[in-house]
Amino acid sequence: MQDMNIKCPYWISGLPGSRSVIRGTWSRDPPRVLISEANFHRPSSLQYDVSSNRLYWLDQFVIKSSTTNGSDIKIHVITIGATLAFVYKDFFGWITGDKINFARRSSTSAEVISQTLSNITNVVVFDSSLQQDKRGTCQVLNGGCEEICIPITNGRRCECDIGLKLQADNTCDSDQLMENFIIVTDVSHERLLQINLKNGSIVKLPITATVPGIAFDKVTKTLFYSDRERETIMSTTLHGHNSSLIYTTGFAYADRFAIDYSTGNLYYTAKGSNLSRDYIGVVHRSLLLHKVLLSNLNSPMEIVLYPSKGFLFWVEFGNKTQICRTHMDGSARLFIATTNLGLPTGLTIDLAGSRLYWADSKTNHIEFSDMDGGNRQILATDYDAQLMSIGIQGQYLYYTAWNRQRITKMDKITGSKIPFMSNHPELGRLDSIDIYADDVLDVSVSCFNKNGLCSTFCFPTPTGRTCGCQDNLKLQPDQMTCDEDTLQLENEVSKETIYPCMLGRPVAVWEL
């Protein structure tokens, strides 16, 4: 709630039984307690009334008020059973169940009761005659600020969104991180952010993300994201330049991504308007060809790959909540976990320890198991966090939670939290993450070498590889080439086009 006359925000803070009214400023001065808990029982419905220049609130079963500096506290009208109160000129109003009650300021109880509505949750009163014309230094052209303009006593001050720096010309910009960072989606504000792995500092990327899922190619430095409204998969740079259409998903939107560094192929889960349209697909990035690997899934979400083992893992919600595994060609389905699950939302693979970790947004457990679901254990619990995405880098896990305005760092063996990033109230619901560091890339030797001699798709499997064709095409009897012979010649240069010499990055084949 804001006092538009003196431009101060007011709010109720604290747990039940110890709540107080706080007054803040727009100048980043520390907020102060305006009315302490000693003057309250259960305050709610805080409101500023322009007519009387006072603060009003509902306190258990009465409406009270004070001046804007917290003095002269008065008791007005009895409102037994009220869930919300409001003030308009010389009248009080409040909600009790399906009733709206009205009383004059001089009354001590309800005088008029309206029962014309049901399930009332809120009331807002608008009167144009009470709207004062308060023009200030930010009214014209936003005060010359590109983003945030804050009126102050002697003019105005320009500010920027979190992760951006104010420039000399009052514009906002940032220097993108080129190494050792986490990319995370802020789904509340459709932001993409970089988090410095060394100190937890934030950089905002000039890209709007409407879907949580992202993937960052550590070789080509390409960022992949989904456009939910257009139902497309897009690629761009960290600077937001050279955006390109990768694939149009049609009746579904891509929700989460994973990259096979053996081939450069982009795997994704897709959600449609009904379960029959949910699937897992893969895109051949240089040929821009597509194949559906698994169809008729139940709300698939997170997806991760283990190319050197030939495994694909994903989560399904729908009718059954389960964590599944197949070979990377979609064959040989295995259930990793089907019991004692809430809503597992994040998956990550520890290559060194051969563990599969997952985060559960309902139980708030971080669990792990072997690659076949054995040796399942709870590593840690973050109560009331609503866990979302999880990633791994070296010895540490990093995870997001919708009720945490930060990324949390944790030891992957002990489950102990490591100081990393402070809370940022400016952040919304943090969702998917991808980590870029100087890590060894996991690949399948069978597909990494000459695309496994496959004309189009090379799919890693535990025993080697299988070849595959785009949708509506079949393999020829040689089990390597597709019906269109021209694809083979194009594919001979495809990996060099995507990964020229792997750009000097180390590649490891974690062979069986």
Residue 491: which H helix or E strand, with range? Answer: helix 486-491
* pLDDT number for residue 6: 56
Q: 376 pLDDT band (50/70/90 cuts)?
A: very high
Single-letter residue type at 472: N
DSSP 492: T
Q: Is the pLDDT of residue 143 over 90?
A: yes
List the CATH code of the domain at 2-130: 2.120.10.30
- Across the range 416-440, mean pLDDT stands at 94
* pLDDT number for residue 509: 46
Length of the chain: 512
- Across the range 296-313, mean pLDDT stands at 97
- Across the range 221-237, mean pLDDT stands at 92
Phi, psi of 340 (to 5 degrees): 55, 40
Region label for 144, one of left (φ > 0), alpha (ψ between -120 and 50) or beta (otherwise) = left
Please give the share of the chain, as a percent, with pLDDT higher than 70.
Answer: 92
Q: In which residue are the tokens 């029962």 written?
A: 115
Of 18-32, 246-260, 326-340, 417-431, minimum mean pLDDT range: 18-32
Beta-strand runs (E) in 129-243:
148-152, 155-159, 165-166, 172-173, 181-186, 191-196, 202-204, 214-217, 222-227, 232-236
Rounded to two decimals, the pTM is: 0.81
Q: Is the pLDDT of residue 108 over 90?
A: no
* pLDDT number for residue 170: 96
Superfamily of domain 451-505: Laminin (2.10.25.10)
Distances (CA, A) of 348 to 371, 416, 442: 11, 18, 13
* pLDDT number for residue 15: 81
Q: In which residue are the tokens 């004309």 written?
A: 455
Rounded distance between C-alpha atoms, residue 201 and residue 63, angstroms: 44
Cβ–Cβ < 8 Å for 466, 455: no
Nearest residue to 278 (alpha-carbon basis) of 303, 245, 310, 244: 303
Sign of CA dihedral 369, 457, 296, 258: positive
CB contact set of 269 (below 8 Å; sequence gap of 6+): 213, 254, 255, 256, 278, 279, 280, 297, 300, 301, 302, 303, 314
Q: Is the pLDDT of residue 501 over 80?
A: no
Q: Is the pLDDT of residue 510 over 80?
A: no
Q: Is the pLDDT of residue 488 over 70?
A: no
* pLDDT number for residue 484: 65
| pLDDT averaged over every residue in the chain | 90
Q: What is the pLDDT of residues 240-273, one digit of tens each?
A: 988 999 999 988 999 999 999 999 999 999 998 8
Q: 500 pLDDT band (50/70/90 cuts)?
A: very low
Cβ–Cβ < 8 Å for 455, 318: no
Of 53-67, 93-107, 134-148, 490-504, minimum mean pLDDT range: 490-504
Q: 25 pLDDT band (50/70/90 cuts)?
A: confident
CB contact set of 493 (below 8 Å; sequence gap of 6+): none
Q: Is the pLDDT of residue 239 over 50?
A: yes
Q: 494 pLDDT band (50/70/90 cuts)?
A: very low
Query: What does the domain layout of the chain look like in residue ranges?
Result: 2-130, 141-172, 180-442, 451-505
Cβ–Cβ < 8 Å for 269, 301: yes
Rounded distance between C-alpha atoms, residue 495 and residue 151, angstroms: 55
180-442: which CATH topology?
Neuraminidase (2.120.10)
The reply to whether 2-130 and 451-505 are identical in fold is no
* pLDDT number for residue 504: 46
- Across the range 366-370, mean pLDDT stands at 99
* pLDDT number for residue 499: 54
CB contact set of 335 (below 8 Å; sequence gap of 6+): 322, 323, 324, 325, 373
* pLDDT number for residue 40: 86
* pLDDT number for residue 153: 77
Ranked by mean pLDDT, the top range of 68-72, 117-121, 363-367 is 363-367
pLDDT, greater one: 344 or 486: 344
